[in-house]
Chains A and B, each alone.
Chain A
Amino acid sequence: MSENRGLIAVVVVLLVALAGMVCLGVGALIYCPQPGSACAGLFGAPSNVSQNNPSQTQPTTAPDQSQNQTQNPTQNSSTNNTAPAGNVLRLPGGSGGGGDPPTLDPANTSDVESATYIVEIFSGLVGFNKDLKIVPDLAEKWDVSNDGKTYTFTLRQDAKFHDGRPVTAQDVKYSLERAADPRTRSTVSPLYLGDIVGFMDKYTGKANEVSGVKVLDNYTVQIDIDKPISYFLAALAHPTSYIVDKFNVESGEQPWYLKPNGTGPFKLIQWDQGQQIVLEKNADYYGDIKPSVDRIEFLLGGGSAMTRYENGDLDATRVSIADIERVSDPASPLNKELSIDPQLSTSFIVFNTRKAPFDDPKVRMAFAMSIDRQKLNDVVFKKMPVVATGILPQAFPGFNQDLKGIPFDPEGAKKLLAESKYASGLPDIVWSTVGGGGTAGSDVQAIAEMLKENLGANISVEQTDWATYLSQINGTNVDFQLFDIGWSADYVDPHNFIGLLFRGGSLNNWSGYDNPVVNQLIDDASVEPNLDKRIQEYQQAEEKILQDAPVLPLTYGRDFWLTKPYVKGAFYPPLVIERLKYITLDK
């Protein structure tokens, strides 16, 4: 009898559960016969509902409305998302990490994830080509005045927004002024465009327009800048300066960028938050290289990208440190699909020269010499980056191949420490790092252990969250004693590393390093018109900085990507630039 009891109970409960599930299933099928119907949101995010039809959100009073309709009658009906099979590219979200981009508003682009989409959907007056050289984009040519302070751009006449409206000089003026508008709340526009005459006046609410941007005629625009900076065109190639459509921005959509009307080689046709972003080829793209792939799906969820790649559900994936050994093995079939690309980034350990014991250069050098970076790179980082020899990363103009880097020399380090003013004993040292786990990252632990072993330094590690960390290293008065940080290039100019990070008084000079000789070299270089001479001056400064060791450059970053063999023309540039139009599929 007792046997039956248990059995009966189990069967009854299971039957009830089963009945419940069946009811749910039947109910759902009745309610939701097709995955694309309106109820899809209930049982999963909508997957086939087109979200983008910019022309609908535009006021009918748009000045070029007639043109829009006559020239481009078919373009707006992009509601049919069923892609032609075979010409669809499936990529991990953004820069490979997944997740929703924080914004698709060009003026507010401050991160890589957002920029990845924005450079494909929108375009600027100028852009970068594959070799990171400045090339014409919406502007077909430009003239620079002799004093280097006035740029006159001539726009292409065949460039149109995705809804068919032609791009004019008024759009350029509108976009740049919008980036300056305090209501746009851009945190990046002053960094890139702050040199335009009158830009900061508008940004701080002192003026209603940016006086330095003048519309000469429908297709000519003139931009005046304060001083002849050499990197102004590069700044115009940054998404912050990209051209937006006024009617799109003021459409009332909350926020407008969910349905962007850009000019780039691809259009956004779908964005299911946390799920996917779908771009479709802009058949009317004006550029010389036309996009080939019909549809690109970015998977935003993140999870298990590597497995999805191996199962053939993704056409490319970034390789994480967990898979690096497997993929790097020449015997692995995956190895043939691997590409390794240098990034424009360097990671540093920063010695705060304002704090004991790092006010003594000998102590800093002793610390730097006690860290075995090769071992660290081999064991902890699994050879993903490469050991840094200087400050400027490889593949950067001005990278100095002759630099040997600070050697690993524990004996020499002990000697240096004995000569320093802390020979009698080092104070306790706190290492601040970003983290929230129970223990700090293995790299930090390994380095702290090396310092203890080789120098007898007593180091405790303090973890803070990213937001707090940022508030601590913001500005010139950094409170941390010893910390680690990485820096990626914003523009391809040595000033971005040497000038910003090591010029005395610079806001990103975390170590508080202030050497008059170095300052002079940097100041000379930043206004030097001759490129070779500039680079020479920056290299001299770099050498001096390394001797004083306010920082220890640890590694230069590298990117590891796997790409399916049928994806042709894919490349992974160190800066976010337009790259999807080069891709063709050969399935």
Chain B
Amino acid sequence: MSARFIRLFFARGQALRAPSFMLAYIVRRLLWLPVLLILISLITFALGIYGPGDPVQVMMGLHARPDIIAQVRKEYGLDQPFPVQYWNYMTNALHGNFGYSLVKYQGQRVSDLIAKRLPVTLQLNLVSVCWSLPLAIALGIFAALKRKSWLDVFLRGMVILAVSIPVIGLQPVLTFLFSRKHEIGPMTLGPFLPVGGWGGIFSPQVILPAFILGLGVLAVFTRQTRAAMIEVLNADYVRTARAKGLKEWMVLGRHALRNALIPLVTLIGFVLAGMFAGSFIIESFYGIPGVGQLAYDALISKEYYIIMAFTLMIAVVYVLMNLLIDILYVFVDPRIRYK
């Protein structure tokens, strides 16, 4: 997937090279945003209302009594026809009211629910990216420079291993190693790291979940950086740079790395956008109060309003991130200059 994306964005980047198109392009893209949002909200809302299952029924569980369900649905306005419900929702949403939770967080504002949890998810993801991304780029460069040596092979092996281990398998192993007491003969070791909960990004609890979350990023970016570096190191301008006697770190830093980073920008954008979508499995394993649990609860109990808010938020973030990547791309690529 990533390779195709990069090619796609390279192509788009080419089209953008003429600066005069730039502003028009941004405006055009932004104009599409509301249209896109209306479409997405319509589809999501329709799926919520016409899809099977009903929040009031979930609330009642096995005690369903049709007269009670009908009465409560009426109170919530869920008995209104689709256009009326949709209209009400959208007008409220435009006034900043994204509705209330019906089942799992009864009566709490959806915006409050998300606002409380989103920062935690973002912080967790940021910590993961903070350790994994620089390391990945370093390792990628290292592997590219040491191409075909045993170190390179070893690194690539580790990378494949890191992507392949499922979280479900890794989590208990790490918890066992680091978060339990070990009695080896007379010695008692550990627990080295507390497990579970959230104490902010500087608490030791964050280490294990951030480590696991970062592994994927580490693997993907090491590979990408290595591939990009190898390509760039073979390029004519690097040979020229070396031939004219530049110091090696200048060749690497100014000429090679800068060009190798271009395809990575696209990827970083998507990693950042993905943060909003949550990191549900990790959050639930470690009891981290992020958006993961909220999203999951909303899905299984047909909480229209929470699902809607999530979908719209993620849509906006992806669209903006996409745009940002395209713009950033133009800036990162040294062959482009504004007049």
Contacts and interface: CB of A to CB of B under 8 A. Distances in A.
A487 interface: yes
B141 A188 contact: no
A212 interface: no
A14 B139 CA distance: 10
Interface residues of B, number: 78
A35 B202 CA distance: 11
Given A187-B69, A474-B64, A507-B64, A467 B53 contact: yes
A35 B228 CA distance: 43
A28 B191 contact: no
Contacts of A14: 134-135, 138
Given A310-B181, A311-B191, A10 B138 contact: yes
Contact of B53 (A41, A276, A470): A470
Given A17-B134, A188-B63, A5 B145 contact: yes
Contacts of A485: 62
A28 B202 contact: yes
A426 B104 CA distance: 42
A187 B60 contact: yes
B68 interface: yes
A10 B57 contact: no
B65 A17 contact: no
A275 B285 CA distance: 13
Shortest Cβ-Cβ A-B pairs, 9 listed: A301-B287, A274-B289, A467-B53, A44-B200, A303-B287, A17-B134, A255-B107, A43-B200, A468-B52
B196 A475 contact: no
A313 B284 contact: no
Contacts of A98: 287
Contact of A110 (B59, B141, B257): B59
Contacts of B92: none
B119 interface: yes
A468 B72 CA distance: 18
Contacts of B201: 24, 28, 43-44
A274 B195 contact: no
Interface in A105-121: 105, 108, 110-111
A319 to B, nearest CB: 16
Interface in B24-59: 52-59
Interface residues of A, number: 82
Interface in B110-142: 113, 116-117, 119-120, 123, 130-131, 134-135, 137-139, 141-142
Nearest to A18: B134
B300 interface: yes
A490 B60 CA distance: 13
A520 interface: no
Contacts of B191: 311
Contacts of A307: 175, 179-180, 195-196
A2 interface: yes
Given A5-B145, A471-B54, A275 B248 contact: no
A517 interface: no
Nearest to B291: A274
Interface in A143-202: 182-183, 185-188, 190-191
Given A44-B200, A301-B196, 8 more contacts: A1-B248, A9-B141, A12-B249, A42-B119, A301-B287, A311-B195, A472-B52, A474-B66
Contact of A299 (B103, B106, B137, B197): B197
23 contacts: A6-B142, A17-B134, A43-B200, A44-B200, A99-B293, A182-B75, A191-B65, A204-B71, A257-B107, A274-B116, A275-B198, A301-B287, A302-B284, A304-B175, A304-B286, A307-B175, A307-B179, A307-B196, A310-B180, A311-B195, A465-B300, A471-B53, A471-B54
B60 A467 contact: no
A122 interface: no
Contacts of A305: 196
B65 A299 contact: no
A274 B113 CA distance: 10
Contacts of B302: 467
B105 interface: yes
B194 interface: yes
Nearest to A256: B107
A300 B300 contact: no
Contacts of A251: none
Contacts of B109: 254
A252 interface: no
B120 to A, nearest CB: 7
Nearest to A200: B67
Interface in B1-32: none
Contacts of B194: 311, 313
Central interface residue in B75, B196, B300, by most chain A CB within 10 Å: B196
A103 interface: yes
A14 B106 CA distance: 47
A321 to B, nearest CB: 14
B81 interface: no
Contacts of B204: none
A173 B12 CA distance: 69
Interface string A500-511: 000000011000
Nearest to A508: B62
Contacts of B56: 187
A308 interface: yes
Nearest to A181: B75
Interface in A268-296: 272-276
B57 A303 contact: no
Nearest to A92: B287
A99 B131 CA distance: 29
B203 interface: yes
Contact of A10 (B62, B71, B106, B142): B142
A255 B108 contact: yes
B285 A304 contact: yes
Given A1-B248, A17-B130, A255-B108, A301 B286 contact: yes
Contacts of B65: 190-191, 507
Contacts of A20: 130, 134
B76 interface: yes
A578 interface: no
A301 B197 contact: yes
